[in-house]
Amino acid sequence: MFFVQEITPWYTKELSEMAIKYIIKILLKPKFIFWQILGLLLQITATGISVATPLLASIALDRYFSQGHLGNDEFIIAFALLFSTLIIPPISSWLNVFLGENISRELKENLMNKTLNFSSGKIIKENPAKLYTLITNDVGVVKDMLIQTVPTVVMSIILLAGSVFFMYQINSRLSIIIVIVVPIIASFVVIIFRTLTKYFKKGQEIKDSTNKIIDENIKASMLIRVFASEKREMFKFDVVNTKQYKNSLEIVKRISIAFPLLNITMYVGQLLVLLVGGIESMNGRLSVGGISAFNNYVIMFTTPFLLLSFTSTLIGQSIASINRIGLVLGEKDKVSGASKLVDKFQNIKLNFFNLLINSKEILHSINFELNKGEKVGIIGLTGAGKSVFIDALMNFFDEHTGKYLINGDEIETVNFSKFRTQVGYVPQKNFILSGSLYNNIDFYRNIPRDEIVKASKVAMIKEFSDKYQDDLGHRIDEHGGNLSGGQKQRITIARALAGDPQILILDDSTSNLDMETESQLMNNIKVGYPDLTMLIVAQKIASIKDCDRIYVMENGSFEAVGTHKELMDRSLLYREIDLAQSNYDRP
């Protein structure tokens, strides 16, 4: 069960470095290198033209004042500069966006692939809402940082170096004053922007909690109304929403202080140019064109402080995102690293197996065996650990001790991703896609149609799909809103059978079926898939009565094992379950 987590710091140096190395690895792919170099060259060219323009304009202005007209060379240069300004920046911007979107796509694909291979324990620990925010929001933050940081830094370096150089060439005395005074004021702006980092990090963490509450409330909207819990849920939402509101105000407050300071910086620079430049002009050391050019270079000198302030804010905002991305990318996939393939299933054995979730022991001292062709049952009271055991058997959790053998091989050496393709698994909770009946059975595995039809007949879906005009093409609402509980269970059973598995695991998958329908379905499976190995978790003894072996689970361990007759003789818990399900009273 998931819960609203407290806001906690995410940043760790190791995770950020891991994510940065991964992003750099994407950037260094051959298909991206050419476009990065081209974009960088265009950026340098465009910025270089911007730096040279004030000086060329001042030369033209001085010539006009001295000669009364401009020559053909000035017109040609002006036209070339105008053409370059109109063409180069849009192409450079498009390249940046093109690279950013491609990198974002690859990063999302890698994150989604990693997330799909997370263990159940890892998903519980990290919270699905947080993972959703990571893939949708955090990748976008990192993408914006990537497409803006490098061009901004390159532009800022060229603007700073170029403006200082040309200011010194125009008037060294005035340039020294500007270079000393302006950075002192601009440094306050940089300090203000740097304080925004913690607020951006906090904002992302609050967004995780907000998304989780919204997701839960939408999914449970009917239950909330049934139990009249609207006020309580709105209170929970209001708490995180208020935190987001206050955090956003703090960000706006600091930005609203920074912008006036930036304007003051520019005004001080221009005022100094007018005052000192006017004196220099009267003394014949600075021309009219020189004053104009110098004033433009002061603005150009101030601009990088603004650009770098925004960039530092963006970098600060992306630190939390980079760290969270590193959290996912740094997760080791124990399954894919294993090399042994299980072509033909023979048996599964667990010897003194213990399962831990977040270092807490959930299953203990499990001894279990499932052999090819067997039909094995598991029963126990609610909360005994039956579904957790099935999850452990499917290797959805990482932490365990003891032996887990498949065909005699340690589970760590078996490629479990490949092995799962031989298992038809029907979880306790039905998952129905919005789409057709056919797509729900196929589950986008491109299974041959004849296998889909066979599975639908065995699972008795054809009994109700034949009533529809479009048969298996009938449209299913989101989460199976237009289906009954029994219909949903039959669809998920057909989905498991359609892949022609060697093992079928049913985790309380017939609870919504009446006894007659369940009996008919089980008989259909026996006839349609005679060589199938079956593991059935059930609440009803009648569902597993004819199993070759039945395991009775209590408090995370198997209390007894045997056939129905053997358990009736020697298991008190089994007899109590049988008695509770019978029609006569307890003696």
CA distance linking residue 466 with residue 331, whole number of Å: 47
CA distance linking residue 485 with residue 487, whole number of Å: 5
Q: In the numeric block, which tokens belong to residue 213? A: 């509450």
List, in sequence order, every residue forming a beta bridge with 414; answer none if it has no partner: 340
Cα-Cα-Cα-Cα dihedral of 98, 18, 209, 318, to 10°? -50
* Of 89, 84, 134, 92, residue with least CA distance to 114: 134
* Pair 538, 544: CB distance under 8 Å: yes
CA distance linking residue 355 with residue 89, whole number of Å: 59
Please state whether the predicted TM-score (pTM) of the whole model is above 0.95: no
Longest dimension (CA), the chain: 122
Give the single-character DSSP code of 7.
Answer: P
pLDDT for the residue 587:
43
Phi and psi at residue 283, to the nearest 5°: -85, 0
What HEC string does 33-101 produce?
Answer: HHHHHHHHHHHHHHHHHHHHHHHHHHHHHHHHHHHCCCCHHHHHHHHHHHHHHHHHHHHHHHHHHHHHH
pLDDT for the residue 584:
41
> Residue 403 in 3-state DSSP?
strand
* Pair 159, 304: CB distance under 8 Å: yes
CA distance linking residue 114 with residue 328, whole number of Å: 7
pLDDT tens for the chain, 587 residues: list them.
222 333 334 444 555 666 777 777 777 777 778 877 888 888 788 888 777 777 776 666 666 555 555 555 655 666 666 666 677 778 877 888 888 888 888 888 877 877 776 665 566 566 666 677 777 777 877 887 777 777 888 888 888 888 888 878 777 777 777 777 667 766 766 666 666 667 776 776 787 777 777 777 777 777 777 667 778 888 888 888 888 888 888 877 777 776 676 667 667 766 776 777 677 667 666 666 677 777 777 778 777 877 777 777 677 667 767 777 776 776 665 544 456 777 788 999 999 999 887 778 889 999 999 999 999 999 998 889 998 999 889 888 777 889 999 998 888 888 887 888 889 999 888 888 777 888 888 888 888 999 999 998 998 887 777 777 678 877 887 777 778 888 888 889 999 999 889 999 999 888 888 888 888 999 999 999 998 999 999 988 988 999 999 999 999 999 999 999 999 999 999 998 888 887 544 44
CA distance linking residue 483 with residue 502, whole number of Å: 29
CA distance linking residue 95 with residue 102, whole number of Å: 11
Q: How far is CA 315 from CA 99, 149, 200, 319, 363, in A?
A: 18, 8, 10, 6, 45
Task: Tell me the one-letter amino acid at 378.
Answer: I
* Of 550, 580, 553, residue with least CA distance to 381: 553
Half-sphere exposure of 298 (CA within 13 A, CB side): 29
H or E element at residue 544: none
* Pair 354, 400: CB distance under 8 Å: yes
**Dihedral-angle region of residue 96 (phi above 0 means left; psi in -120 to 50 means alpha; beta otherwise):** alpha
pLDDT for the residue 101:
83
Residue ranges of domains in the chain, CATH in brackets: 16-329 (1.20.1560.10), 347-580 (3.40.50.300)
* Of 203, 40, 49, residue with least CA distance to 137: 203
H or E element at residue 370: strand 360-371
Q: How far is CA 424 from CA 24, 339, 472, 525, in A?
A: 40, 22, 20, 12
Q: How far is CA 460 from CA 438, 442, 490, in A?
A: 14, 16, 7
In the block, tokens 């008989």 appear at: 523
Q: In the numeric block, which tokens belong to residue 121? A: 């324990």
Burial 49-87 (b: 16+ CB within 10 A, else e): bbbebbbebbbbbbbeeeeeeeeeebeebeeebeebeee
Q: How many residues does the chain have?
A: 587
